[in-house]
Structure 1
């Protein structure tokens, strides 16, 4: 870990960082006989989202989620019905927040930080997934990569947030359970704070920047961000 500097705005990834994607597993258990296939689907979803961006193309994250589900089903010789795709959409739209989210956000707000989200998901009609999870009001701003038509960790996604907020990069901190997101934010001049959600770990590669802060739960991570700001 590096020596974190004071920041004024904390920006959160949403899917899996704040919202619990393990609630999708029953669908994959029913379709494929193993809930663990959800991880295969999600990894492919991230891969193809980033592939679209690298190729200069864009499709909404939800459209890609459906397409990748069909691809995984084809690979496993499973016939999907329309109701299966509908269930995926329904479950994605109703993912609950992790238990540590609300208390951590409350402490960060009390400490005076501006709080925002930056998600790969496209904007949703009300009630949004964040509203259903009961945490939308905890944030001052919500941003989607759909505004630039590129997925994280493309530099334009982070530039969009800092431009809209009018906040210089060193004053921004990205909180995510995906190291590719903190690496992207750090490349944009932000700080990166990593939360070790299940099946998410740091990458031990010499040229991959470690996160400025890391913790096993969001409450501890919030405390460390607050302490680093106080120390500065």
Structure 2
């Protein structure tokens, strides 16, 4: 494979804050999902934060840095970031608070994204009762399932909260034929159709105001002569 055909993607950023109204503490686990022909060449694929508790300002600060580099022969199945959020109760038991997925931005530069998280609903009333008695929420068997579309249409979910992520993206694809910079289209305003007077607005743009009054007087004179 020629090196000129490789698409290189470097991402680094920070999981800044999160908000789950029903939770007093949150821990975030971030997965870098590389599917298709994408491969992680440097950095880790999993990042885990410590538990963050609400302070006097009633906010949850995560402060989880992450960094990795990926490569592929084509941009198909663009990489994604999957967020697994956990909370801990008074008994020390950990349970899932929400899942979130973020597609890595395709434009180079700095991006601030808000990832909304959700939880799957129990498939039956009995399982929901058991989950309430155990004090845990329903969760996916595969924690990376939010990154895949297979089987998602049959899954019922409920909104839980959100996570704010700051991510910096660098893309190198000089000779592969793919363009990742935002396309800027310049549009020049055309003022030829804008009316400059009441006469233009009435559809008499080529007729002067004096000519309009002269035409009106001629119509009045002809009407008086006929009478």
Verify same fold: TM over 0.5: no
Give the alignment's TM-score, normalised by structure 2: 0.21
The structure with more helix, counted as a fraction of residues: 1
User: Which structure would you say has the larger Rg?
Assistant: 2
The structure with more strand, counted as a fraction of residues: 2
Q: Which has the higher contact order (CA 8 A, sep 6+)?
A: 1
Give the alignment's TM-score, normalised by structure 1: 0.21
